Chain A
């Protein structure tokens, strides 16, 4: 995914957690940020994706156009999150509110690619269910600005499954190379990215309690995964250009 939300959000959460322990969060954050080269590289890799979509803008299909918009929005939100974090302002709510938007947009894209299969039907019913569940979770159960919800790992699982199915379907593709099909690149990147997200979501509670060093390494790992995923996403746009 273009936006390195997991690392930053979790980092900020960690920052809050540290703040609650009467640390000077801003100072700590600034000090440690200089150590995190990978989150910045991850941010740069999002720019690569956005640039690729702009490069192939004339060749974009309806699905890839939605993806391009998504990556552009995601990049902007990541920058905002970063700025908020650098100024010591809670940015977790942005991530929480972006989660259903992200799911809807990606679900739409995969729905279009699997329209005539049972996955298409599954997506059609999972989107409203997910949004409803997110609303209940965010507004009635927990405070989205302060607590992580379960929406993120759930959406990650759904998108991993859908991407895998898309790849399996592409296995039966006739007539052209899968390397020329954006769905191939996007699905592959989605599996990698949301795989990383899922791992972080699953271990987020433990990570919040871990040492700063451990968090740094974990985030770096997640950033590496994000960078790889973003490069593959970029391939999804560039293949459109190559095809023409």
Chain B
């Protein structure tokens, strides 16, 4: 039997062996465990990376497709821009030309190097330059997306021609302008056609006025004179029987009364056709006369204000304004059921303005426009036609039960004299 010392010794041997085995085993297990854990973590990371890579690859692929589509789109866009008859240009926020289609250089006569990087406003004719700049600045300020203006484009050599510029204003997220994309269309032919049309309208109106004048004169000088003569003779015949007991004389007296009415009617028609007062005393006197007649006839109060008109205006302006006011008053009489009318006739710096406002029942402008499509002949069209012929504008605003306001503006410094 082994002694207790031997047992202790064996215990120490076995314990020592176990300690070192355990030490080695623990180290090994620790290393393996750590590495397994790290590998699992790395695998997870790799899986995530793989997923991300897959997503990224898909995104890249999608982007590539988009890029290809974009390139194709740009190519098509460029082809389109470079082959259309219109001129196309892109301006930076400071209005410098950054791109121009070949047509722009061809039509303006400038070389690409002479236009790119320079101000766009060298292209509009000096007469329109400020106006075009104003349009751009206003559109930018008002955050407009698209804006259109017409101006004369002055090429490097040769005559100016009319263009219609349609501009798309590109902005960033904050609303700041990134660039202006402008399409310039030659509208010279259209402008010529408009001029021809205006001249034609002018001649028609002129012929109409001449005809009215002639008919008015004929009525006044011809028929009215005859009627007056007949009345004079009837009066003489009537006076021969002072007792007036003869039935024939009584008949003559009644006929003379009717004849007087006919004379007055002919005179009124004659005045309407061509008021001689307009020719003789001018616009303000004629308008006052019309207003007086209107008040007497319709029993509607009119407040008038005439301002700034100290001399006679050109005939065509006087006539157009007179006719417009006359037409407006006719409409008030026929349709408005108004009790009060305000009429202002004001000469301002660059134009003359007539404003006729009533407190009548008004109308729905849209439904009226629909009716006008079906049935022409209401006075508004005539008004507009006459005013437009002089380069002016007519603005009609009306609301149901809120009355109607007509504002006519006619430029008189430039247009009125130059055209006629």
Contacts and interface: CB of A to CB of B under 8 A. Distances in A.
Interface of A: 160, 164, 167-168, 170-171, 173-174, 177-179, 184, 188-189, 191-192, 194-196, 198-200, 202-203, 206-207, 210-211, 213-214, 217-218, 221-222, 224-225, 228
Contact of A206 (B9, B21, B24): B9
Contacts of A188: 24, 27-28
Which 10 pairs of residues, A with B, have the shortest CB-CB distance?
Answer: A195-B20, A199-B16, A191-B24, A214-B6, A192-B24, A218-B13, A188-B28, A167-B27, A171-B31, A225-B17
Given A173-B35, A222-B17, A203 B12 contact: yes
A221 B9 contact: no
A52 to B, nearest CB: 18
Interface string B35-77: 1001100000000000000000000000000000000000000
B10 A170 contact: no
Contacts of B3: 211
Given A177-B39, A221-B17, 10 more contacts: A170-B35, A171-B30, A177-B35, A178-B31, A189-B24, A195-B19, A200-B13, A218-B13, A221-B10, A221-B14
For the residues of A in contact with B, the DSSP-based class is helix
B247 interface: no
A195 B16 contact: yes
B28 A167 contact: yes
A196 B17 contact: yes
Nearest to A164: B27
Contacts of B24: 188-189, 191-192, 195
Contacts of B6: 210-211, 213-214
B16 A202 contact: yes
Contact of A217 (B10, B34, B35, B38): B10
B2 interface: yes
Contacts of B28: 167, 184, 188
For the residues of B in contact with A, the DSSP-based class is helix
Give the interface centre of B14, B19, B38 by most chain A CB atoms within 10 Å. B14
Contact of B10 (A177, A189, A194, A214): A214
A207 B12 CA distance: 11
B20 A213 contact: no
A88 B31 CA distance: 46
B31 A211 contact: no
Nearest to B8: A206
Contacts of B23: 164, 191, 195
Contacts of A164: 23, 27
Contacts of A206: 9
A194 B17 CA distance: 10
B13 A192 contact: no
Contacts of A179: 32
A23 B2 CA distance: 20
A173 B32 CA distance: 10
A200 B13 CA distance: 7
Nearest to B5: A210
10 contacts: A171-B31, A177-B35, A178-B31, A192-B20, A199-B16, A203-B16, A207-B9, A214-B10, A221-B13, A225-B20
B10 A198 contact: no
Contacts of B17: 195-196, 199, 221-222, 224-225
B21 A195 contact: yes
Contacts of A200: 13
A1 B305 CA distance: 127
A202 B12 CA distance: 10
A167 B21 CA distance: 14
Nearest to B27: A167
Contacts of A173: 35
Contacts of A174: 38
A191 B2 CA distance: 30
A167 B13 contact: no
A167 B31 contact: yes
Contacts of B9: 203, 206-207, 210, 214, 218
A243 to B, nearest CB: 15
A191 B16 contact: no
Contacts of B34: 171
B27 A191 contact: yes
Contacts of A192: 20-21, 24
Contacts of B13: 199-200, 203, 207, 217-218, 221-222
A72 B18 CA distance: 28
B80 to A, nearest CB: 57
A211 B9 CA distance: 11
A174 B34 CA distance: 11
B24 to A, nearest CB: 4
A196 B16 CA distance: 7
B35 A178 contact: yes
